[in-house]
């Protein structure tokens, strides 16, 4: 399996970047109030798992159209798909206009609580210049024909699909899902729509499982332009997908997570799973004696202590005989119901029989064995024995274990606690899983931090994801490869200087993003405000020089306070404007150089 090294392009880094300077210049903000029925639609889950909280709480309800800059869409409370448009030529917001009416979804179940638990927020995406995929959050996906979206005309539904009711989609659970990515592909004269959806399989007494469903639709060659399901695949994992996208030809899926994703179902090719482990009844090897009669052991530099928990039906005894001659081995055996649990001939080192003692009380049976070579710490008691039991307070007689910390990117920028989002034990990887043979063809190590965010820089290309490199945020773009080639190439597309460092300090962050031209990065909180970071401060920030150092460059930092607009439910970043979808209004932050 080839390993991809995410090596940044040194030409896109700024070693002389000296941070951001706060600008007190006000940011022009245009506000558009909602009508009584045009408030954003949102479903709140009753499930308290982390995955449900992240999926429902962090979903971006304002979807940007990469083919029409300045346009984005959201679904309101009565099912109208609303178009939000910023006219950059006039510098103003156009009136909100509805382009499609989502039919009301009736509940098919008799239990309202079960229906609410299986429902997700509505989601949409744009796989092509003239198509839109819309999910109602209840298991129905619609293919909409949009035409020229810059005109704002009404959209028309071409097909309606419920994968759970289709024979090809056997891995889909009842209930809704959320759209993650989609691609429009023309291959061998066939028009195909590939899209990915996410479902959470909640377990009452275990960690929730994430299911990625990969559906393929084919457009009919004759008659009305309807779409039919021709293939369905399901990938499962115990980890949440922090980045998920189809490649150029929709022949593989790229997933970044802290747990591996594997194919669980494919309607076109059977998935060959791992060989099942033999059960206890099928196992040939008999359990070890210490597994039948368990014990725990500890040690000091001078002796080894073994403790058994006494049971009514078990009789314990010790046979300890010193050697009869200089060349004769000594004998130590610990029995439990005539079964030898500890054999002195298999111990890691020799013991002193004269100092070996044992005692018994109504609950415990203790054995203290003196070491012939004091000061030597045993790595194990005997081959195959249980690990040494370490008390919570630790052993003051032995040195503390070395802490295995990850290496710092460089000595001038050591790692800090805020650099680890989920603790040092969590490790993220990016994997490419091929639909042809269900294998992982390429993998890339992301370290202890997940991708910061994903953004579409150019229409028609797979999403670009950002990772932290030292203090910067590097954006990586998947490169095109020939059709049929099982290859994966990632190119360093650009850098948000020092953005990885500043976002790590924002503990209340909800949305991260950047402009398509990488002119600025944004950290948006749920209620309090928005942080804007521009890579250049303008003419006043270029060519600065320290008193005794080299020339440096600084960026511009601006803060926009959000008041009386409620929670922010979505953002859309354009080169000259940042559009926010809040509970009470739509805000447009006009950005100038």
pLDDT tens profile 442-481: 999 998 889 999 999 999 999 999 999 999 999 999 999 8
What pLDDT does residue 387 have?
86
Q: What is the DSSP letter of 511?
A: E
Whole-angstrom Cα distance, residue 521 to residue 149? 27
For residue 483, pLDDT over 70 is answered with yes
Distances (CA, A) of 328 to 325, 334, 345: 5, 20, 12
Residue scoring higher pLDDT (326 or 154): 154
State the greatest distance between any 2 C-alpha atoms of the chain, in Å, as a whole number. 104
For residue 546, pLDDT over 70 is answered with no
CA torsion, ordered 24, 30, 34, 39, to nearest 10 deg: -60
Distances (CA, A) of 535 to 15, 181, 227, 451, 496: 13, 29, 45, 20, 7
The candidate with the shortest Cα–Cα distance to 562, out of 8, 29, 22, 118, is: 29
Q: Count Cβ atoms below 10 Å from residue 345 Cβ, excluding itself.
A: 10
C-beta separation of 348 from 378 below 8 A: yes
For residue 392, pLDDT over 60 is answered with no
What pLDDT does residue 442 have?
93
In the chain, count H helices and then E strands.
4, 40
What pLDDT does residue 216 have?
95
All structural domains of the chain: 8-34+451-592 (no CATH), 289-371 (2.60.40.790)
Give the predicted TM-score (pTM) of the model. 0.74
What pLDDT does residue 494 have?
95
Whole-angstrom Cα distance, residue 564 to residue 584? 8
Could you give phi then psi for residue 71, rounded to 5 degrees? -115, 140
Whole-angstrom Cα distance, residue 510 to residue 518? 20
Q: What is the mean pLDDT of residues 71-97?
A: 93
Q: What is the DSSP letter of 72?
A: E
What pLDDT does residue 106 have?
41
By three-state DSSP, how is residue 479 classified?
A: coil
For residue 299, pLDDT over 50 is answered with yes
Please, what is the Cα angle at 346 between 345 and 349, to 5 degrees? 85
C-beta separation of 353 from 332 below 8 A: yes
Q: What is the mean pLDDT of residues 220-241?
A: 89
Render 34-49 in DSSP notation, one character per residue. PPTT-SBP-------S
381 sits in the region (left: phi over 0; alpha: psi -120 to 50; else beta) called alpha
The candidate with the shortest Cα–Cα distance to 136, out of 101, 111, 110, is: 101
All residues at 6 or more sequence positions from 381 whose CB lies less than 8 Å from its CB, including other chains: 297, 304, 306, 342, 347, 348, 388
**Chain center to CA of 135:** 22
Q: Count Cβ atoms below 10 Å from residue 152 Cβ, excluding itself.
A: 15
Q: What is the mean pLDDT of residues 333-339?
A: 85
Whole-angstrom Cα distance, residue 283 to residue 291? 15
Choose the most confident range, by mean pLDDT, from 47-51, 298-302, 360-364: 298-302
Q: What residues are paired with 123 via a beta bridge?
A: 135
By three-state DSSP, how is residue 502 classified?
A: helix
Residue 16 burial (C-beta neighbours within 10 Å; 0-12, 13-18, 19+): middle
C-beta separation of 75 from 41 below 8 A: yes
Whole-angstrom Cα distance, residue 284 to residue 291? 16
Among 244-258, 398-412, 466-480, 486-500, where is mean pLDDT lowest? 398-412
> H-type helices in 100-200, by residue range?
112-117
Three-state SS sequence of 354-395? EEEEEEECCCEEEEEEEECCCCCCCCCCCCCCCCCCCCCCCC
Distances (CA, A) of 109 to 172, 176, 203, 443, 475: 17, 13, 20, 42, 45
406-430 pLDDT per residue, tens: 444 444 455 555 555 555 568 899 9
What pLDDT does residue 324 have?
59
C-beta separation of 61 from 74 below 8 A: yes
């Amino acid at each position: 399996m080839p390993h991809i090294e995410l090596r940044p392009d040194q030409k896109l880094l700024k070693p002389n970047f000296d941070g951001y300077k706060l600008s007190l210049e006000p940011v022009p903000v245009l506000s558009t109030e909602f009508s009584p029925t045009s408030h954003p639609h949102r479903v709140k889950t009753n499930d308290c798992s982390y995955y449900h909280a992240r999926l429902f709480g962090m979903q971006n309800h304002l979807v940007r159209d990469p083919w029409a800059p300045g346009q984005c869409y959201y679904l309101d409370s009565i099912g109208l798909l609303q178009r939000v448009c910023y006219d950059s030529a006039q510098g103003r917001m156009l009136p909100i206009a509805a382009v499609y009416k989502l039919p009301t979804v009736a509940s098919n179940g008799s239990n309202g609580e079960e229906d609410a638990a299986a429902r997700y927020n509505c989601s949409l995406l744009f796989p092509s210049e003239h198509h839109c995929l819309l999910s109602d959050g209840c298991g129905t996906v619609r293919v909409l024909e949009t035409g020229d979206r810059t005109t704002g005309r009404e959209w028309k539904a071409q097909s309606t699909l419920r994968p759970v009711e289709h024979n090809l989609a056997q891995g889909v659970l009842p209930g809704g899902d959320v759209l993650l990515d989609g691609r429009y592909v023309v291959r061998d004269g066939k028009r195909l729509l590939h899209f990915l959806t996410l479902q959470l399989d909640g377990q009452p007494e275990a960690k929730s499982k994430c299911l990625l469903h990969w559906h393929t639709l084919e457009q009919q060659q004759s008659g009305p332009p309807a779409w039919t399901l021709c293939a369905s695949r399901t990938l499962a994992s115990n980890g949440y997908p922090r980045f998920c996208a189809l490649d150029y030809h929709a022949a593989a899926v790229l997933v970044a997570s802290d747990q591996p994703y594997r194919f669980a179902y494919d309607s076109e090719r059977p998935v060959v799973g791992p060989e099942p482990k033999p059960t206890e009844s099928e196992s040939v090897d008999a359990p070890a004696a210490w597994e039948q009669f368990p014990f725990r052991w500890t040690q000091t530099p001078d002796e080894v202590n073994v403790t058994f928990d006494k049971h009514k039906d078990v009789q314990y005894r010790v046979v300890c005989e010193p050697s009869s001659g200089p060349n004769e081995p000594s004998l130590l055996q610990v029995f439990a119901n005539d079964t030898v649990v500890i054999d002195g001939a298999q111990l890691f080192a020799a013991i002193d029989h004269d100092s070996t003692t044992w005692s018994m009380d109504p609950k415990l049976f203790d054995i203290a064995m003196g070491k012939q070579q004091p000061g030597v710490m045993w790595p194990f008691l005997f081959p195959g024995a249980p690990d040494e039991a370490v008390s919570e307070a630790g052993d003051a007689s032995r040195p503390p274990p070395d802490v295995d910390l990850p290496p710092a990117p460089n000595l001038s920028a050591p790692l800090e606690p805020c650099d680890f989002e989920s603790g040092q034990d969590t490790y993220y990887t990016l994997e490419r899983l091929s639909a042809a043979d269900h294998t992982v063809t390429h993998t890339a190590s992301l370290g202890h931090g997940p991708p910061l965010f994903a953004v579409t820089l150019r229409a028609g290309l797979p999403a670009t994801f950002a990772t932290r490199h030292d203090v910067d945020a590097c954006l990586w773009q998947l490169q095109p490869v020939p059709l049929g080639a099982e290859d994966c190439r990632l190119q360093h597309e650009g850098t948000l200087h020092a953005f990885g460092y500043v976002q790590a300090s924002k503990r209340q962050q909800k949305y991260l993003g950047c402009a398509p031209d990488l002119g600025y990065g944004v950290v948006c909180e749920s209620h309090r405000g928005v942080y804007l970071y521009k890579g250049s401060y303008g003419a006043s920030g270029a060519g600065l020089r320290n008193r005794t150092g080299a020339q440096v460059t600084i960026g511009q930092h601006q803060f926009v306070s959000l008041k009386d607009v409620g929670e922010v439910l979505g953002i859309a970043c354009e080169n000259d404007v940042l559009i926010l979808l809040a509970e009470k209004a739509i805000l447009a932050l006009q950005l100038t150089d």
